[in-house]
Chain A
Amino acid sequence: MKRKMFILFLFSTAFFITESCEESFTPYGKFATKYSLNFIVRSDTSLQVATVFKSYPLNNNSNVENRNKSFVHNAFIRLWNGKDVVYFLRDSTMVDTSSGMTLSYYYTNEYKPQPGDNLQVEALLPDGNRLKSSTKLPGKITTDSRRSSGIIPSKNGKTVTFAWKPDLNTNPFEENQVFIPTLYLVYKQKIGQNEVLKKINIPWKYQVKNGSEVGINKPPNVTPQINYSMKNFAKVLKSISKGDKNKENYTILSAVLYIKVLDKNLSEYYLSSKRIFDNFSIRLDVQDFSNITNGFGIFGSVIEQKIALVFDKTYISTFGYQSPL
């Protein structure tokens, strides 16, 4: 009897609750239009591109539609380079041949930035809103010979260190400045009567993925130094002449480290854009960095510079290659 009473109670309660609890819920609040400006100045080209978007109330989960509908045309965008020169950015569209998508943007192809330039941007929008920002290009860098290995292989024979520091005429690195180092082996290969200059990536680490080894480069980080295992050098050096018996046709010139340096604002934007702490923690609100006054987005710059180390002649000869030394 007790058991029957309990079961009856249980099911009647469950039924009552299930039937009486229908509710609607929206996670959205009151919408107000806001704007974003994105402008990243690059040192490797004179083509500088910016975008301006307005906000929208609902995400329809179509990136193409979201982007095209929210792009703001007919804005008046000016860039100052700190030397009383003003560049006007033109409103334009193009069709991405690979995807067939129409892409809208603003551009100027007249400005080739120099390290250390002070930049300002202002976007006057058709409705009278004004977005403003400023940034400073990173300065020149040079090898930090005190921390760097002098030659490859290094004295310890295990790792090679590339380290860099600001040039004498440049301000110290910004705290938290992001660097993106990528190492290449630069060599010449004799093909017939011609010598062809080639470069090949030397990975920072190797990772086994799906049974095969894949080279990876170090992710963007704030350390002005990078270490490479000598094993990685040996692996790449062997690979360039794989299947070729004429090792003497190869002249190993140097290992060149290409370093992309982000300015202070872009560094902060990049670091805060790493949107999750980890794959498992769940955050309700995500931090957003912007240096655009009166809006969202980023105005920043990135420059690329190089430092190099040469190989020891004896070491190179162990592979049968030539050395310029």
Chain B
Amino acid sequence: MVIFLRILRIRIPFLVLLICLFIVNQDVHSQSMGKLRGLVTDSSSGESLAYANIFIKEINSGASTNEHGYYFFPALKANKYYTVTASYLGYKSKTEKVFIAPNKITIAGFKLTPVSVELQTIEKVGKKIVNRNETDLGLKRIAISSIKALPSGVETDVFRSLQYIPGVNFTADVSAKYYVRGGDNNQNLVLLNGAPVYNPFHALGLFSVIDPDMIKNIKFYKGGFTAEYGGRLSTVMDLITVDGNLNKYSGQASLSLLTAKAMVEGPIPHGSFAFTGRKSYSTKILKNFLNDKTIPFDFYDASFKLNYSNQNLIPGAKFILHYFTSNDKLNNKDLFKEDFFWQNNIFGFSWYEVYNIPLFSEMNISVSNFKGKVSPNLSNARTVNNKLQEITFKYKFNYLYDNKDELVGGLQVSSLNTNLLFENNNGLLSHIDGRGSNFVLFAKYKLLRFEQIGLDIGGRYNFTGISKNGANYFEPRISFTYRPFASISVKAAWGKYQQEVTTISDENEVVSLFEPYIIVPQYLKTPRATHYSLGLDIYLTEFWNVQSEVYYKTLSNITAINENKKFSGDPDLVSAKGESYGLELSSDISLGSFRLTTSYTLAYAYKTVDNWLYYPKYDSRHYFNFILETNLGKGWKASLTWVFKTGLPFTPTTGFYQKLLLNDFRGDWDIYSNYIPFSILGDKNIGRLPNYHRMDISLSKAVKLGFAKFFINASIINLYNRKNIFFFDRSTGKQVNMLPFLPTFSVKVKI
């Protein structure tokens, strides 16, 4: 009660606004009105299609399907036929006449046929109208087919595909870790079927554990995410795995230069299943990524999903069980070399329900486990042993009003347990254990009743905190869209964000095996961020979309490793702050069989640690992306990408001195001659590396032979062999470059 009173006292203006919106929204049920609901699916597999467009000609209005493929029109004049068209990327649009009965929900499902040979461009039917007042600033919905169309560096990778989104930056070819709008990598939330994934990387972070074949939908918020998401300061990547083929058993297998993969899916009574597995079989190709170093990686990942939807049991309900595991081992089999191991295990259950009133609800329970270990043996490596378990319960409902407004609300309860034993730079062992629970209520109101205006206003209230200082904190979120003309929309978003877990990560490391997670220690304030963004979305023609965004982000109490820790009583982490701002422009032209996407980003990022202001390692001032995709006909497709980035910051060497090297003090050790040249460093990150640019191409062919379909892909990474600098080895003065000219090849067979 006291807490409620406190909320009321502190957040009265916000709550009053929410309540007013709710009160004025009484459903006006007229006898001559009816509702329309339906599920849009793939006709061949029965897989639901998220974010498909539904357009009704008679009212010149549209809607999108939700994550589960459902659409809903809450108020249509009854006793008449409507022309309803469903369209989706890579599918043939379908139009049907639907009769709306009075005072009930009419159900009209659409089974769309995949367009296998034609260019996978979205049919423009009703697209602009559907998106008229959508409050989606900062949100990018990524089609998995578009990821697969891009040149793949050894493995097609979901995370690497983000590099073409303006505002998203990578620091190296050899790392799939991404940095968005001045935020660090540990400020990115990755959700797999609603469950958080920690350290979702294979093989030194070269690529993610997310196999694109198991993914159905990707929602990526690069900032300004709304009230249903929380727990991180910068971004959210919400990944939904495939449900499995409802109609028939099918399978596929593929082989790249690094891994072998398989997928099996098929129907079960009242549902379907899907199983995917991937395993490394050769790591020779990775020498190109790791400065010619042979590393005995061994990894696998696997996912399983089971869907059950018995309409006789609970009408409108769908139950999902899912499991995901990834495992990486690096066993040197040498007492003088270190061994590594890290593993993710995620188990979840979901209950999604569509009611006979305009209400959707979703309940998720998930358990996410991460274990990571560095066993130094007798090497110079440092001991790291990290265990993490997060148990999450989330309930969300979505109520749709007749006037198109929506009320979304729910609660999230998370329990997190972390254990970390690690050795710091000075060889000091630290043991950090943490345990905490987070109880959050979230609610938002989507004002969509006006054709030209969309408003998403809400917030999250943290009643308890996983960390000591995270409780009783309100995170308000607003996203706004105004469309003064049919082809132009102005968007804005603002929000406050809190993060209660962090990593013990050393920002001087450009490649690391995994970053140990811990709960933000009690001696630090909880990291928080505020996002401001403003955008413009213009359709210059039916086929040419231009978007621009400006953003400003402040980060307070973010954590940085304590470089000055000398005694066990000294803190492992210190508080830091950050600031970033920038401009992002993108253009998307789909014309005939060509699609051209270009983007430009101007970004500034700053970080302050121990009162020292510097550019973080991912601060690239300008970056430009160019993607050209084309369908050459007869199953041939080609794509070309070009990335240009101005140089990343680095700390210059201002000289060398003779550093005394100490061996183990046994036998001969002397102070006379045992010296190496050691770098004297200038101001942190004050220099800039040369510009980065790289061109990749890809050519693929789909061939049908009998009952099997073959997909052959050949890519060339770094076509003109640009010597992009990765880093300078300070001890040798040697320049280490990123990926050289690298042809790669993969083949997939689907039955």
Chain A interface residues (CB < 8 Å from chain B): 2-3, 6, 9-10, 13-14, 17-18, 21, 23, 25, 27-36, 38-40, 49-51, 53-59, 61, 63, 66-67, 70, 94, 96, 99, 101, 103, 105, 175-176, 180, 182, 205, 207, 216-217, 219-220, 222, 260, 262, 268-289, 296-298, 302
| Given the contacts A66-B677, A272-B425, A277 and B719 also touching, CB distance less than 8 Å | no
Task: Provide 6 A-B residue pairs closer than 8 Å at the C-beta atoms, listed in order of the A residue.
Answer: A6-B628, A17-B695, A32-B654, A53-B658, A105-B671, A284-B508
Contact B632 A2 (CB under 8 A): yes
CB distance A283 to B510 under 8 Å? yes
Residue B709, interface by CB 8 Å: no
Asked whether A180 lies within 8 Å of B665 as measured between CB atoms, the reply is: yes
Q: Is the CB of A302 within 8 A of B508?
A: no
Do the beta carbons of B665 and A13 come within 8 Å of each other? no
Are B678 and A288 in touch, CB under 8 angstroms? Answer: yes
How long is the Cα–Cα vector from A64 to B484 in the complex, in angstroms? 74
Contact partners of B689 in chain A: CB under 8 A: 25
B335 and A216 contacting across the interface, CB-CB below 8 Å: yes
Q: How far is the CA of A268 from the CA of B426 in the complex (A)?
A: 6
Minimal beta-carbon separation of A64 from chain B (angstroms): 9
Interface string of B410-428 (1 = CB under 8 A from A): 0000000000000001111
Residues in A neighbouring B161, C-beta threshold 8 A: none
Contacts A40-B671, A54-B657, A271-B428 known; list 17 others, CB within 8 Å.
A17-B695, A18-B722, A25-B689, A25-B690, A29-B686, A30-B654, A31-B655, A53-B657, A67-B658, A175-B568, A220-B665, A277-B512, A279-B338, A279-B379, A283-B506, A285-B651, A296-B678
Bound-complex Cα distance A262 to B697 (A): 58
* B471: Cβ under 8 A from any A Cβ: no
Whether a CB of chain A sits under 8 angstroms from the CB of B733 is: yes
Distance to closest chain B CB from A43 (angstroms): 12
What does the 1/0 interface line of B710-751 toward A look like (CB < 8 Å)?
A: 000000000110100101101111010000000000000000
Question: With the chains together, A24 CA to B337 CA distance in Å?
Answer: 38
Q: Is the Cβ of B511 less than 8 Å from the Cβ of A207? A: no
Q: Are B657 and A55 in contact (CB under 8 A)?
A: yes
Knowing A176-B426, A274-B427, say if A32 contacts B655 (CB, 8 Å). yes
Tell me if B's interface is mostly helix, strand, loop or mixed: loop
A38 in contact with B671 (CB, 8 Å):
yes
B114 beta carbon closer than 8 Å to chain A:
no
Q: B679 near A205 (CB under 8 angstroms)?
A: no
> CB-defined interface of B585-606 with A at 8 Å, one 1/0 digit per residue?
0000000010000000000000
Restricting to B202-229, which residues have a CB under 8 Å from any CB of A? 204
> How far is A66 from B732 in the complex, measured between Cα atoms in Å?
13
Compute how far the CA of A40 lies from the CA of B213 in the bound complex, rounded to whole angstroms. 60
Question: Please, how many angstroms separate the alpha-carbon atoms of A180 and B642 in the complex?
Answer: 55
Q: Which residues of A contact B567 (CB under 8 A)?
A: 175-176
B204 surroundings in chain A (CB, below 8 A): 280-281
Tell me which residues across on chain A come within 8 A of B665, comparing CB atoms: 180, 220, 260, 262, 302
A-B pairs with the 7 shortest C-beta distances?
A: A271-B427, A29-B652, A278-B381, A29-B682, A53-B658, A59-B677, A29-B654
Contact B672 A96 (CB under 8 A): yes
Q: Which of B227-280 contact A (CB under 8 A)?
A: none
Query: Residue-by-residue, is B666-709 near A (CB-CB < 8 Å gives 1, otherwise 0)?
Result: 10001111011111111010110111010101000000000000
CB–CB A282/B510 < 8 A: yes
Cα–Cα, bound, A278→B321 (Å): 39
The answer to whether B512 and A6 touch across the interface, beta carbons within 8 angstroms, is no
Given contacts A2-B630, A29-B652, A32-B654, contact A277 B566 (CB under 8 A): no
Q: Is the CB of B661 within 8 A of A273?
A: yes
In Å, the complex CA distance between A180 and B722 comes to 48
- What is the distance, in angstroms, from B292's C-beta to the closest C-beta of chain A? 13
Chain B residues positioned under 8 Å from A23 (CB to CB): 690-691
CB <8 Å contact, B650 and A29: no
Residues of B participating in the A interface, judged by any CB pair closer than 8 Å: 204, 290, 293, 295, 330, 335-338, 340, 374, 376, 378-382, 425-429, 506, 508-513, 563, 566-568, 593, 617, 628, 630, 632-633, 636, 638, 640, 642, 650-662, 664-666, 670-673, 675-682, 684, 686-687, 689-691, 693, 695, 697, 719-720, 722, 725, 727-728, 730-733, 735
Q: A315 to nearest B CB, angstroms?
A: 28
Q: Which one of B295, B630, B650, B730 lies within 8 Å of A286 (CB-CB)? A: B730
Could you count the A-B residue pairs with CB atoms below 8 Å apart for me: how many are there?
Answer: 240
CB distance from A47 to the nearest CB of B (A): 11
Q: Which residues of B contact A298 (CB under 8 A)?
A: 660
Q: Cα distance A76–B462 when bound, in Å?
A: 65
Who on chain A is nearest to B727 by CB? A284
B380 touches A274 (CB 8 A): yes
Residues of B close to A216: CB separation below 8 A: 335, 378
Taking a contact as CB atoms under 8 Å apart, the answer to whether A269 and B662 are in contact is yes
Q: Is the CB of A6 within 8 A of B675?
A: no
Say which residue of A17, A31, A284 sits within 8 Å of B510 (CB atoms): A284
Asked whether B680 lies within 8 Å of A55 as measured between CB atoms, the reply is: yes
State how many angstroms separate the Cβ of A46 from the closest Cβ of chain B: 15
Q: Is the CB of A219 within 8 A of B378?
A: yes
Chain B residues whose C-beta falls within 8 Å of the C-beta of A29 in the assembled complex: 652-654, 682, 686-687
A176 contacts B509, CB within 8 Å? no
In the assembled complex, how far is the CB of residue B28 from the closest CB belonging to chain A, in whole angstroms?
54
Residue in B closest to A17 when the chains form the complex, CB atoms: B720
Do B381 and A59 touch (CB < 8 A)? Answer: no
With beta carbons under 8 angstroms apart, the residue of A10, A25, A31, A260 that contacts B654 is A31
Closest to A69 in B: B658
Cross-interface CB contact of A51 among B295, B379, B671, B735, cutoff 8 Å: B671
A contact residues around B687 at 8 Å (CB): 27, 29
Asked whether B652 lies within 8 Å of A272 as measured between CB atoms, the reply is no
Known contacts A14-B720, A205-B335, A273-B661: A2-B593 contact under CB 8 Å: yes
* A286 CA / B563 CA spacing, docked (Å): 11
Contact A280 B662 (CB under 8 A): no
User: Which residues of the partner chain A approach B671 to less than 8 Å between Cβ atoms?
Assistant: 38-40, 49-51, 105
Are A279 and B381 in contact, with the CB atoms below 8 A?
Answer: yes
* Distance in Å: Cβ of A135 to nearest Cβ of chain B: 15
Complex interface: chain A residues within 8 A of B425 (CB): 272, 287
Residues of A within 8 A of B380 (CB): 274-276, 278
A residues near B381, Cβ cutoff 8 Å: 276-279
Chain A residues near B664 (CB, 8 Å)?
Answer: 180, 217, 219-220
A270 to B660: give the CA distance in the assembly, Å: 10
Assess A277 versus B382: contact at CB under 8 Å? Given A36-B659, A66-B658, A96-B673.
yes
Contact of A273 among B429, B662, B677, B691 (CB under 8 A): B662
Contact A63 B691 (CB under 8 A): no
CB nearest to A300 among chain B residues: B662
Q: A10-B640, A21-B693, A275-B380 are in contact. Are A56 and B660 (CB under 8 A)?
A: no
Q: How far is the CA of A207 from the CA of B336 in the complex (A)?
A: 9
Contact of A281 among B426, B513, B655, B676 (CB under 8 A): B513
In the bound assembly, the distance between CA atoms of A61 and B730 in angstroms comes to 11
* A27 closest partner in B (C-beta): B728
Q: How far is the CB of A209 from chain B (nearest CB, A)?
A: 9
Shortest C-beta distance, B21 to chain A (Å), equals 51
**Residue with the greatest number of chain B CB neighbours at <10 A, chosen from A18, A53, A175, A280:** A280
Could you tell me the distance between the alpha carbons of A237 and B684 in the complex, rounded to whole angstroms? 56
Is the pair B727, A282 in contact by a Cβ cutoff of 8 Å? yes
Complexed CA–CA distance, A270 and B661 (Å) = 8
Residues of A within 8 A of B651 (CB): 284-285
Q: Are A6 and B722 in contact (CB under 8 A)?
A: no
Give CA–CA (A271, B681) in the complex, Å.
Answer: 20
Within the assembled complex, what's the spacing in Å between the Cα atoms of A274 and B730? 15
In the assembled complex, which residues on chain B have CB atoms less than 8 Å from the CB atom of A50? 671
Would you call B655 and A56 a contact (CB within 8 A)?
yes
- Contacting residues, chain B, for A6 (C-beta < 8 A): 628, 630, 632, 638, 640
**Closest residue on chain B to residue A178 by CB atoms:** B427
A13 to B653, CA, bound (A): 36
Given contacts A66-B656, A220-B665, contact A103 B691 (CB under 8 A): no
Q: Tell which of B293, B512, B735 has the most Cβ of chain A within 10 Å.
A: B512
B657 near A36 (CB under 8 angstroms)?
yes
